């Protein structure tokens, strides 16, 4: 019989807790990759996202299949079962509530909250989760614009919008989301006063894959193509 899992929110860093943390990280990663396209998630993509070897991913997928958290078929990929999906959504809820709490209640810069939440998400109790949610007024989105799963672990549709990089000169919209994977990009946006919810207008696109010049309430800002590809904008809203 497989060793039972500690529940999300367990305290301490003994070996059992570490194994649970790893399984939760895999569940969260599978959930994220599954949202990109239908069908099973490939083990190569999962290995790249988690920064581990394909062999490590295969071993963990087999382990999670034994625990009833995934359906795994060699050479085909892996899918979360209902219990696996609930595990992923619970960890995501913890993570995004923690990001919101660290940013709003403690004033931590939004480029730092992701890494802190990555650690804490596995160890907060359900009571603390509820207290954080209540203190923040049960927010629906985290500081980067991502939806926060509800108390019953339902999650809203993916954040709407198209990449800023795809907008033409003269188009207007509301900045809705940015990937939190590049802290230096978040720091740049912060210095320019550009956060999710900000209205912006594309002034000019430099040729040959150059910067996108946008106008916001604070003035005009050139945004490089890599960052512009990570920023979602709801066209025609909030401008």
CATH number at residue 79: 1.10.10.10
**Radius of gyration of the chain from Cα atoms?**
19
- Please give the residue range of the domain that contains residue 182: 162-235
Q: Is residue 144 part of a domain?
A: no
* DSSP letter (8 states) at residue 12: S
In tens digits, what is the pLDDT along the chain, a chain of 239 residues? 344 444 444 433 454 456 689 999 999 999 999 988 788 999 999 999 999 999 999 999 999 999 999 999 998 999 999 999 999 999 999 999 999 999 999 999 988 999 999 999 999 999 999 999 999 999 999 999 889 999 999 987 777 789 999 999 999 999 999 987 788 999 999 889 899 999 999 999 998 889 999 999 989 999 999 999 999 999 986 55
Dist CA 156 CA 11 (whole Å): 29
Last residue of a domain, one of 34, 54, 83: 83
Domain limit, last residue, from 49, 66, 83: 83
Q: Is residue 102 part of a domain?
A: no
Domains in the chain: how many in total?
2
pTM of the model: 0.79
End-of-domain residue from the set 83, 106, 132: 83
Give the start-end residues of each E strand in the chain: 70-73, 77-80, 162-163, 172-178, 199-205, 212-216, 219-223, 231-235
Specify if 1 maps to a domain: no
């Amino acid at each position: 019989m497989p060793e039972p899992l500690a529940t999300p929110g367990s305290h301490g860093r003994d070996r059992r807790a570490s194994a649970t943390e790893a399984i939760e990280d895999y569940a969260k990663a599978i959930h994220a990759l599954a949202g990109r396209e239908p069908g099973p998630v490939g083990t190569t993509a999962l290995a790249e996202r988690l920064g581990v070897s394909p062999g490590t991913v295969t071993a963990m997928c087999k382990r999670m299949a034994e625990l009833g958290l995934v359906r795994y078929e060699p050479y085909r990929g892996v899918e979360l079962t209902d219990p696996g999906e609930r595990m992923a959504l619970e960890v995501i809820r913890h993570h995004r509530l923690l990001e919101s709490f660290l940013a709003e209640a403690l004033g931590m810069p939004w480029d730092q909250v992701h890494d802190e939440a990555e650690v804490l998400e596995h160890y907060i109790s359900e009571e603390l989760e509820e207290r954080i949610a209540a203190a923040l007024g049960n927010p629906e989105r985290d500081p980067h614009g991502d939806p926060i799963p509800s108390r019953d672990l339902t999650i809203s549709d993916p954040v709407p919008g198209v990449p800023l990089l795809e907008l033409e000169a003269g188009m207007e919209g509301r900045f809705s989301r940015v990937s939190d994977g590049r802290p230096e990009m978040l720091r740049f946006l912060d210095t320019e006063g550009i956060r999710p919810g900000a209205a912006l207008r594309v002034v000019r696109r430099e040729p040959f894959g150059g910067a996108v010049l946008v106008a916001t309430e604070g003035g005009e800002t050139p945004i490089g193509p890599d960052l512009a590809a990570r920023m979602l904008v709801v066209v025609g809203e909030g401008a």
